Amino acid sequence: MSCYKAQQKIKNKDMGRKGTSMFIRSTLIISGIITAFSCTNAQTYTSPKGYDLTKPTRFNMPDKLREISGIAFYHGKPDSLYAEEDETGRVYYFRLGDKQVNHSTFGKAGDYEDIAILGEQVIMLRSDGVLFTFPFKGLRNPDIGNVQKWKDILPQGEYEGMYANEKEQQLYVLCKHCSDDKTSKSSSGYIFKIANGQIRQSGTFSVNVKEIEALMSTKKIAFHPSALAKNQQTNEWYILSSVNKMIVVADNNWKVKSVYPINPGLFIQPEGIAFDNQSNLYISNEGDKITPGTVFKFNYNAAK
């Protein structure tokens, strides 16, 4: 059995563990740790052209961002990173490497999963598909005013990934698990235009899971994407899945070109992905009671 299949088998058992004894649950957790350790040592991890996913620059997050989720840059500028965690209605802004982070409050507590900045608008994605928008200039205030809430513009489901394409002036939202999808066949996405204070759907897209399976030489993957971003250097989509521990690279038309399993010993719970205007890649990882949240930076090297 391959490392990937072994990990999926343990994960499926663990997801169905409700009602099982503490002994069985502990055994599954220990089995998962042993499997992850074995796979880490047995598998050679490859990287997309221009990057080395095995050698990040690591930035530990303060306790406020232990559960860091989505990340974004303002016009791609790497001098400040904007982020949220999935418990409070706050936007955090800071320079990577700083020990202190600032924040502004935009709403009530909730399961917020991603952040995007399109022009001068900030968009927040809640896991149930509700969007919140407000002017970027409000971020430096303790409490952000002029927040608009957008309900019922996405089908019922669970959402974690969102990306603002400033070249196209469009917002992309990718479903993690939607009632309309069979996660072993496709993941649905929705495209929006934001203009004159309004959000309207302008198109749809989908990620073909069968194409992922073919490149992984395996069958029946339940694909659950966590985040997405576009590499403007290559015009490719990078789709991150924390559950599947992989990065999927697709072309501009969403045809899957390559799949990169990522090291579970390094990427404990990757939840956010972004590129800066120098094509450097960033991935945020949730922490736990022992490990802090992190942001990994992967420098772009055109020679690789």
Query: Does 40 or 269 have the greater pLDDT score?
Result: 269
Q: Does residue 261 have a pLDDT over 50?
A: yes
User: What is the model's pLDDT at position 29?
Assistant: 40
> Which of 15-24, 39-48, 213-222, 293-302 shows the lowest per-residue confidence on average (mean pLDDT)?
15-24
Listed as own residue / partner, the contacts of 171-175 with beta carbons closer than 8 Å and 24 or more positions apart are 171/116, 171/118, 171/123, 171/199, 172/205, 172/228, 173/125, 173/129, 174/207, 174/225, 174/228, 174/239, 175/225
**Distance, CA of 232 to CA of 237 (rounded, Å):** 9
CB atoms within 10 A of CB 9: 14
pLDDT-based confidence at 43, cuts 50/70/90?
confident
143 — phi, psi (to 5°)?
A: -120, 125
Tens digits of residue pLDDT in 122-170 = 999 999 999 999 999 999 899 998 999 999 999 999 999 999 999 999 9
Domain segments of the chain: what residues? 1-43, 45-298
CATH topology of domain 45-298: Neuraminidase (2.120.10)
SS3 state of residue 242: coil
Residue 163: which of 67, 250, 267 has the closest Cα? 250
pLDDT at 37 > cutoff 60: no
**Residue 292's pLDDT is what?**
95
**Ordered alpha helix ranges (H), 202-251:** 209-216
More confident residue, 230 or 86: 230
Tell me the pTM.
Answer: 0.86
Looking at residue 196, what is its pLDDT?
83
| pLDDT tens figures, 179-238 | 766 767 889 999 999 988 899 999 999 999 999 999 998 888 899 999 999 999 999 999
Of the candidates 103, 81, 100, the one whose C-alpha atom is nearest the C-alpha of residue 92 is 103
| Nearest in space to 149 (alpha carbons), one of 197, 210, 185 | 197
Buried b (16+ CB within 10 A) or exposed e, 200-235: eeeeeeebbbebbbeebeeeebbbbbbbbbbbeebe
Judged by phi (left if over 0) then psi (alpha if -120 to 50, else beta), residue 46 lies in beta
For 19-34, the pLDDT digits (tens) are: 444 444 444 344 444 4
Over 50: is that where the pLDDT of 54 sits? yes
Q: What value does the mean pLDDT of the chain take?
A: 88
Q: Strand 186-195's sheet: what is its strand order?
A: 157-165, 170-178, 186-195, 198-208
Segment 230-255 mean pLDDT? 97
Could you tell me what percent of the chain has a pLDDT over 70?
85
Q: What is the pLDDT of residues 271-281, one digit of tens each?
A: 999 999 999 99
Q: What is the mean pLDDT of residues 280-300?
A: 96
What average pLDDT score do residues 52-80 get?
96
User: In this prediction, what percent of the chain has a pLDDT beyond 90?
Assistant: 75
Find the distance separating the first CA and the last CA of the chain, reported in whole Å.
Answer: 32
Q: Report the distance separating Cα 31 and Cα 25, nearest Å.
A: 10
Separation CA 231–CA 273 (nearest Å):
11
pLDDT of residue 42: 54
Cα torsion 268, 52, 170, 142: sign: positive
